[in-house]
Amino acid sequence: MPFYTHTVQVERSDLDDLNHVNNVRYVQWIQDIAKAHWESEATDKMRSDYFWVVIRHTIDYKSSAVLYDYINIRTFVQESSGVTSTRIVEMFHAETDSLIVRSETVWCLIDAKSKRPTRITDEIVELFK
CATH of the domain at 19: 3.10.129.10
Residue pLDDT, tens place only, 74-123: 999 999 999 999 999 999 999 999 999 999 999 999 999 999 999 999 99
CA-based max dimension of the chain: 46
The H-or-E segment that residue 32 falls in is: helix 23-41
Domain that holds residue 39: 4-127
Residue 47 has pLDDT above 80, yes or no: yes
Give the separation between CA 76 and CA 88, rounded to whole angstroms: 6
Task: Say which DSSP state 69 is in.
Answer: -
In the chain, how many domains are there?
Answer: 1
The reported pTM is 0.95
